């Protein structure tokens, strides 16, 4: 599995719509990323990035896009490890 997180520009952030997160191996969406500006101080608004993967099984919100990408890469690493371990157990049992 190779997750691709879309690059978020200011237009996407201002529009506040969802963009698909893709699994490049299957060429299918596995979730979405949503970006907005949230309320902070009276004069500033902080960007907010939320991600939902695999039907909401993995959800998180971050202040930066980089944190969101790091979270997705962590989810990818865990899933790849679980799949490789399961395949290894099948080969040993087979």
User: Which residue segment(s) compose the domain that 55 sits in?
Assistant: 3-93
Q: Of 80, 1, 8, 2, whose CA–CA distance to 50 is shortest? A: 8
The total number of structural domains in the chain stands at 1
Tens-digit pLDDT profile for residues 43-81: 556 668 899 999 999 999 998 888 999 999 999 999 999
Does pTM top 0.85 for this prediction? no
pLDDT at 38 over 80: no
- Provide the edge-to-edge strand list for the sheet that holds 3-4: 3-4, 18-23, 28-39, 45-53, 58-62
Q: What is the pLDDT of residue 77?
A: 96
């Amino acid at each position: 599995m190779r997750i691709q997180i879309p690059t978020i520009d200011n237009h996407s952030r201002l529009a506040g719509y969802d963009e698909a997160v893709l699994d490049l191996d299957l060429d299918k969406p596995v979730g979405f990323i949503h970006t907005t500006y949230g309320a902070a101080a009276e004069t500033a608004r902080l960007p907010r990035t939320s991600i939902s993967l695999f039907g909401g099984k993995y959800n998180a919100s971050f202040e930066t896009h980089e944190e969101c990408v790091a979270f997705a890469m962590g989810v990818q690493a865990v899933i790849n490890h679980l799949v490789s371990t399961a395949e290894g157990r099948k080969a040993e049992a087979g």
